[in-house]
Structure 1
Amino acid sequence: MQPLSSTDPDRIGPYRVYAELGRGAMGRVLLGAGADGRLVAVKVVREWLVEDEEFLARFREEVRKSRQVSGLYTAAVVGAGPDAPVPWLASEYLRGPTLDEAVKAAGPLPEAAAIRLAAGLASALASIHAAGVIHRDLKPGNVILESSGPRVIDFGIARAAEGSDLTRTGALIGTPGFMSPEQTRSQPLTAASDVFSLGSVLVLACTGTGPFSGASTLDTMNNVVRAAPDLSGVPARVRALATRCLAPDPADRPTPAGLLDLIGPLAPSSRPWPEAIASLEDEQQRRIALLLDGVEEHPTRVDTGPTMVTDPHRPTWVRPPEPGPTATPPVRPTPRPTPPVRPAPDPNAQARMGAGAAIVLVCAVIAGLVWYADRDSEVEEPSSDYTDSETYEDTWTTSEPGEHEVYVQECMWDGYDEAECEVSWGSDPSYTWTGQLYGGGPSERDVYLDECAADGYSDEECESSWYADPSYTWTGELF
């Protein structure tokens, strides 16, 4: 969860937005709330797609089909603005980490939790397919582990199962490593493609890595098409399910209903996930509470209560106990030695000596009182200056993530591992993630433009075709 920038709007449609939950190549997902205070996840389309009429037509179709999907294991659509200046789609906000976040933070799922995950995903696909929709991007990042069970999100690249002229042959849409072989080849898809993706998700949930992971994206896609899945480390019961789902031939894969029959009935559980995953949901709840509880306050908080301040450059004052009342000791006459026999003293001289002694005694008492008064004043002064009138300011500051962090995050959200994203960052001259890895050598764009020019087209025609062609692969035809 990231704070919004100063350029972000306060509202999307009827929803006030508070933070960014995630982002991808097609759009951003923001945390919002309606007039009734209920939290929602608002997906906002990227600005550069607003002028793409074909994409907007697909988005309208997505909104129409997503409204028909219902069930306990999907996120219900609660509002949409497909014709707004910046199109958006709002669905209920689901509390919990994604499967990808959970495995990275808490480790692979035990067998019992993985079986419960398989049953939840099969139920979700049954609801999605019943609405005539193929998800096309079922992956760990699109599965939320709620306390009640798994939920499937993001129909961002879903299509109507009955087909549409909006889906172009040759377009490659999905996440490498979790696509079916027919999807990787850009062939027509059926609901069985989502079942293949479910099998790959189960393997990652149990091992921390996908069954077709390779050293690069191209290696991974090649493994999906040609290699047998790596099921080492998958518990026996889960391996039996994953093997059926990962059959190369779509006709050999079970339907979601058939998969539920293979799993059998499960006992209800109030805590379906390990404690380490439940703690991730608790942390998410804490962050949301902090965000929403302070949303109306000024970002600078001032504590006006009593404050203790220590100044290292000022001497420490130690206040002694308050002195109690002391009685002035009686003045006793000083015994005098017996004088020698002399003539009788002058009576006036004796009177003058007695008056002088009384004056000296009075001066001593006054000096003592003044000394105590000054000493008390010195002790009280620091307490008054440093306790009653000082306050401190605690200023919340936020820092925007740097270009490197944003690039690597967006790259990983698209399904690439961190090492690939780091290499791409160092090789990408634009420093902006566009859904394409850079890794040294000629880029896909360079290859595309060279092959296009070799077929006799001008540089301008080839450039325009590169940006319009979603497959990023030259096939001899301009887009």
Structure 2
Amino acid sequence: MQPLSPTDPDRIGPYRVFAELGRGAMGRVLLGAGPDGRLVAVKTIREWLVEDEEFLARFREEVRKSTQVSGLYTAAVIKARPHDPVPWLASEFLRGPTLDAAVKAGGPLPEESALRLAAGLAAALESIHAAGVIHRDLKPGNVILEANGPRVIDFGIARAAEGSDLTRTGALIGTPGFMSPEQTRSQPLTPASDVFSLGSVLVLACTGAGPFTGSSTLDTMNNVVRAEPDLDGVPVRVRSLVERCLAAEPADRPSPAELLALIGPLPPTSRPWPDPVAALEGEQRLAIARFLDEAEEEPTRVDFGGPTLVTDPNRPTWVQSPPPEPERTPPPPRPGPPSPPQPGPASPPRPPVSTPNPAAGAGSAGGSGDGSGAGIGAAFFVVALIIAALVWYENRGGGDDDEPSDREAYVEDCRDDGYSASDCETSWSNDPSFTWTGELHTEWDEETTPWEEETTDSGPSQSEVYIAECEADGYSQSECETSWYNDPSYTWTGQLYEGQSQYEVYVEECVADGYSEADCDASWYEDPSYTWTGVLH
């Protein structure tokens, strides 16, 4: 984990970013936090690839397919904007070291932990392949050892199994030493290629080195294609799995489901990894806490019914009072995921108090008891109040004709906070106060103001209730969070949600209304409600 450079943005979309989690040839992954404070991993592509139409098409395909990949052993995609000037994708942040870091710091995994790793990776590939995706870069650096099991990340060079190959002809994409022979030769791939990579990952987990490692990248790639794998030091039970995964012919390799059957049921445990892995996770938590503590607090915006002072030291401006409610027909309600809880209303800001002239206040500084210092302070306080009232009265009058309209000011403030123009326009249409408060309004509310709704409900959010009830029924936190993201009802029923994801429901309903799948896919990413209403965004 590395600090951000001065040239890095402090916000990507709605997410504040604090540190760099990792980087590769094609992109970076940053630690971020959403409006509700939950940590996320935000992936952006390299600047030099922004003009590469082939790569952008592949990234958009990755985003589309990643939203359909769900399971206990993959990172859930939370939000994505593949059409932004610098495309990005946000997924849940997974706590724990990579397999690569764990082996380097603590040595090879014991046999029991290696078998749990094999079962977790096989289950992950089963979910990935079921969504029609080939990962194409399964390696130790893309496996996170969470406290409750392994998780597979980074679909950065994944492509749809049934889609056209968007990679340039003859291009070699992957990690030498963990690629399959057919991938090394730039031949067409099948899901069996990921199974070969799984076998190589298991060898490194058990021995600290890959089965084909050579003295150079060219030697390693040549070994993948022509040499027998080096399995010295691999435990017997794991070796029987690895030998089948590393078969030269794709047809001879087992499927992920067959691998799970070969491994058989494993006893439950609260500590799947050795102590050095837990120690690395503790170090990661401390590093995250340090980055978050060093981050500056965001400006607080308050609304107490009158003119709103935006307490941003860089833009200390008074915002006009809300205009009278115009006659308009409210848009139909669009039920969607509940907004994260907002802070309650803060106390009204104090008017600025001018500093007395040093010469005039000399008697007060000397400690005389005649009260002249207090009188001067009171006079300056009254003057400050009068000035503040005059400024407010002038602004209330509407100002010059050249000043932006209320709508333009609202959208400008909203976009300054990192939201897109379309999101801000929608929020303006749904916001009865017509005053930007730092949070989007995704549905119309004609009876309450933004703060009234927050102050009447200070209890846990809907997601917290859902996950708490799910965990009380014996499921893990990651299982419950995945179920929450996919469950369109957002109500715990006693069973993990295994039906269609919101994305699938949205696109299916959109296509049923006569739109193309491509149009529906683009609308999904632009629609802040993630609920099909009959109109493309």
Per-residue deviation, 1:290: 2.0
Q: Distance in 1 between matches of 2:173 and 2:289?
A: 37
Secondary structure in 1 matching 2:163 = coil
Q: Distance in 2 between matches of 1:111 and 1:169?
A: 41
**Equivalent residue runs for 1:224-373 within 5 Å:** 224-296=224-296
Secondary structure in 2 matching 1:30 = strand
**Equivalent residue runs for 1:35-54 within 5 Å:** 35-54=35-54
Per-residue deviation, 1:32: 0.2
Partner residue of 1:28?
28
Kindly indicate whether the alpha-carbon contact (under 8 Å) linking 1:212 and 1:223 is maintained by their aligned counterparts in 2. yes
Per-residue deviation, 1:297: 6.7
Query: What code does the residue aligned with 1:29 have?
Result: V
Gaps of at least 5 residues in structure 2 are 299-537
Kindly indicate whether the alpha-carbon contact (under 8 Å) linking 1:42 and 1:88 is maintained by their aligned counterparts in 2. yes
Kindly indicate whether the alpha-carbon contact (under 8 Å) linking 1:169 and 1:187 is maintained by their aligned counterparts in 2. no
Q: Distance in 1 between matches of 2:257 and 2:204?
A: 22
Partner residue of 2:139?
139
Q: Distance in 1 between matches of 2:277 and 2:60?
A: 36
Partner residue of 1:182?
182
Secondary structure in 2 matching 1:251 = helix
Q: Distance in 2 between matches of 1:112 and 1:32?
A: 34
Partner residue of 2:516?
none
Deviations 1:331-358 (CA, angstroms, capped at 9, x unpaired):
xxxxxxxxxxxxxxxxxxxxxxxxxxxx
Deviations 1:216-240 (CA, angstroms, capped at 9, x unpaired):
0000000000000000010000100
Q: Distance in 1 between matches of 2:25 and 2:33?
A: 24
Query: What code does the residue aligned with 1:17 have?
Result: V
Per-residue deviation, 1:53: 1.1
Per-residue deviation, 1:242: 0.3
Secondary structure in 2 matching 1:286 = helix
Q: Distance in 1 between matches of 2:172 and 2:4?
A: 32
Per-residue deviation, 1:89: 0.9
- Closer, same or farther: CA 158–165 of 1 in aligned 2, 3 Å: closer
Secondary structure in 1 matching 2:83 = coil
Secondary structure in 2 matching 1:210 = coil
Per-residue deviation, 1:198: 0.1
Kindly indicate whether the alpha-carbon contact (under 8 Å) linking 1:137 and 1:179 is maintained by their aligned counterparts in 2. yes
Per-residue deviation, 1:167: 3.4
Partner residue of 1:149?
149
Query: What code does the residue aligned with 2:91 have?
Result: S
Kindly indicate whether the alpha-carbon contact (under 8 Å) linking 2:98 and 2:140 is maintained by their aligned counterparts in 1. yes
Q: Distance in 1 between matches of 2:64 and 2:189?
A: 20
Partner residue of 1:78?
78
Q: Distance in 2 between matches of 1:165 and 1:45?
A: 19
Deviations 1:281-304 (CA, angstroms, capped at 9, x unpaired):
011011111222342379xxxxxx
Q: Distance in 2 between matches of 1:225 and 1:165?
A: 22
Kindly indicate whether the alpha-carbon contact (under 8 Å) linking 2:55 and 2:167 is maintained by their aligned counterparts in 1. no
Partner residue of 1:385?
none
Secondary structure in 1 matching 2:136 = coil
Kindly indicate whether the alpha-carbon contact (under 8 Å) linking 1:21 and 1:30 is maintained by their aligned counterparts in 2. yes
Q: Distance in 2 between matches of 1:32 and 1:48?
A: 23
79-88 or 140-149: which moved more?
79-88
RMSD: 1.1
Secondary structure in 1 matching 2:18 = strand
Secondary structure in 2 matching 1:21 = strand
Partner residue of 1:129?
129
Partner residue of 1:92?
92
Per-residue deviation, 1:5: 1.1
Q: Distance in 1 between matches of 2:110 and 2:245?
A: 19
Query: What code does the residue aligned with 1:221 have?
Result: M
Partner residue of 2:202?
202
Q: Distance in 1 between matches of 2:163 and 2:10?
A: 37
Query: What code does the residue aligned with 1:186 have?
Result: S
**Equivalent residue runs for 1:103-122 within 5 Å:** 103-122=103-122
Q: Distance in 1 between matches of 2:223 and 2:136?
A: 19
Partner residue of 1:9?
9
- Closer, same or farther: CA 167–5 of 1 in aligned 2, 3 Å: closer
Kindly indicate whether the alpha-carbon contact (under 8 Å) linking 2:182 and 2:189 is maintained by their aligned counterparts in 1. yes
- Closer, same or farther: CA 27–231 of 1 in aligned 2, 3 Å: same
Kindly indicate whether the alpha-carbon contact (under 8 Å) linking 1:182 and 1:188 is maintained by their aligned counterparts in 2. yes
Partner residue of 1:360?
none
Query: What code does the residue aligned with 2:218 have?
Result: L
Q: Distance in 2 between matches of 1:43 and 1:91?
A: 8
- Closer, same or farther: CA 82–18 of 1 in aligned 2, 3 Å: same
Query: What code does the residue aligned with 2:221 have?
Result: M
Q: Distance in 1 between matches of 2:296 and 2:7?
A: 19
Partner residue of 2:222?
222
Secondary structure in 1 matching 2:89 = strand
Query: What code does the residue aligned with 1:142 have?
Result: N
Secondary structure in 2 matching 1:221 = helix
Gaps of at least 5 residues in structure 1 are 299-479
Secondary structure in 2 matching 1:277 = helix
Deviations 1:42-81 (CA, angstroms, capped at 9, x unpaired):
0111100011111111111111011100001000111111
Per-residue deviation, 1:268: 1.0
Q: Distance in 2 between matches of 1:87 and 1:168?
A: 20
Per-residue deviation, 1:21: 0.7
Partner residue of 1:173?
173
Q: Distance in 2 between matches of 1:88 and 1:150?
A: 24
Q: Distance in 1 between matches of 2:6 and 2:99?
A: 31
Give the share of equivalent positions with the same residue, in percent.
83
Partner residue of 1:161?
161
Secondary structure in 2 matching 1:200 = helix
Q: Distance in 1 between matches of 2:200 and 2:58?
A: 27
Query: What code does the residue aligned with 2:16 have?
Result: R
Secondary structure in 2 matching 1:145 = strand
Q: Distance in 2 between matches of 1:206 and 1:112?
A: 10
Give TM-score scaled by structure 2 length. Answer: 0.55
Kindly indicate whether the alpha-carbon contact (under 8 Å) linking 2:124 and 2:151 is maintained by their aligned counterparts in 1. yes
- Closer, same or farther: CA 82–276 of 1 in aligned 2, 3 Å: same
160-169 or 113-122: which moved more?
160-169
Secondary structure in 1 matching 2:175 = coil
Query: What code does the residue aligned with 2:4 have?
Result: L
Per-residue deviation, 1:163: 2.9
Query: What code does the residue aligned with 2:144 have?
Result: I
Q: Distance in 2 between matches of 1:297 and 1:168?
A: 45
Q: Distance in 1 between matches of 2:296 and 2:5?
A: 17
Per-residue deviation, 1:169: 3.7
